[in-house]
Structure 1
């Protein structure tokens, strides 16, 4: 007599199939969730601040001055290739990302990027790899991330954000500095990304 070996996975799946019985008809999933809402910039600021991001509401002409105030003199900044040069202060050393290796990116004092969209209700900023945002690694390795968001890029909720984004692009969703906690719920920042996030919100 030949006995076929049955894996634990097959055993569990077999039991599930037996318990569920015959597969029922497909259920239509309602898609009537809200797709538009009132944009509240104050709510975005509140949510970002709750996540320990530092928010600066500034006119675009003062972006370089605010960045200069955030960084020490002679700091080194990694920037994506399409970032507006006017945003960068003369007091920093700029490293354009022309294929920089990970060590050079991680050793920089920070990175400045633009954003694709921001969600007020969740306090989330989304990057999509556009030329003014660069590769995902730029916003993950440096310890400081300065992100410039225009008011016109802010939407009320996630469905509206998804409608503005292209799914096949490399999306990075950021809600405050990188943070995690251990088994005792002690918060640790900077494990999976920048320890400090500054968001410059333009009119």
Structure 2
């Protein structure tokens, strides 16, 4: 496993994301085991990722449509940052609009090893279009009250699963 992939998985895990590693061939099976009964997809998710699963392609679903307990959303990402364990989405194909990753209770994101960069400056270099609006995700949604009691899922997904695909 590459050093960047190892560091990314470790840092994302520090933020309480569940990180799994797999090969391209194993990806559909891993996703099938993670996704719930209802799966929302943005435009551009490769069909082979979800072969055999019941899916709903986002065509402008409302926040109420996306705020259901059994709902999962599956996306890809533009880049991932090893130093911070951060996913970076720019709304490109397979990533969808921000609402998809901020409302559902469960987000599953696929990251390919070649998408992982060392740090934030490298992220800007790796982005296809650095002027696009970015959503940066470091673990499940979390906040703390004045006594530093951590609460997850208040402002976004309570569960974040990251599937890292090891490049050949």
Aligned residue pairs total 163
Of 185-194 and 92-101, deviating more is 92-101
Unaligned runs of 5+ in 1: 1-37
Q: CA deviation at 1:173?
A: 0.4
Report if aligned partners of 1:124, 1:173 keep a CA contact under 8 Å in 2.
yes
Query: Superposition pairs for residues 19-98 of structure 1, below 5 Å?
Result: 40-72=4-36, 75-90=37-52, 92-98=53-59
Q: CA deviation at 1:68?
A: 1.6
1:171 is aligned to 2:134? yes
Instruction: Write the distance in 2 (CA, Å) between the matches of 1:167 and 1:57.
Output: 28
1:110 is aligned to 2:72? yes
Unaligned runs of 5+ in 2: none
Instruction: Write the distance in 1 (CA, Å) between the matches of 2:117 and 2:164.
Output: 13
Q: Deviations over 1:31-61 (max 9, x none)?
A: xxxxxxx952111111011110001101122
Change in Cα spacing, 1:184 to 1:67, as seen in structure 2 (3 Å) is same
Higher strand share: 2
1:198 is aligned to 2:137? no
TM, length-normalised to structure 2: 0.91
- SS of the residue aligned with 1:121? coil
- SS of the residue aligned with 1:184? coil
- SS of the residue aligned with 1:149? strand
- SS of the residue aligned with 2:44? coil
Report if aligned partners of 1:149, 1:199 keep a CA contact under 8 Å in 2.
yes
Q: Deviations over 1:155-181 (max 9, x none)?
A: 001100012233431200011111110
- SS of the residue aligned with 1:61? coil
TM, length-normalised to structure 1: 0.76
Q: CA deviation at 1:89?
A: 4.4
Instruction: Write the distance in 1 (CA, Å) between the matches of 2:59 and 2:3.
Output: 36
1:149 is aligned to 2:111? yes
Report if aligned partners of 1:124, 1:176 keep a CA contact under 8 Å in 2.
yes
Instruction: Write the distance in 2 (CA, Å) between the matches of 1:136 and 1:168.
Output: 16
Which residue of structure 2 aligns with residue 132 of structure 1? 94
Instruction: Write the distance in 1 (CA, Å) between the matches of 2:76 and 2:111.
Output: 6
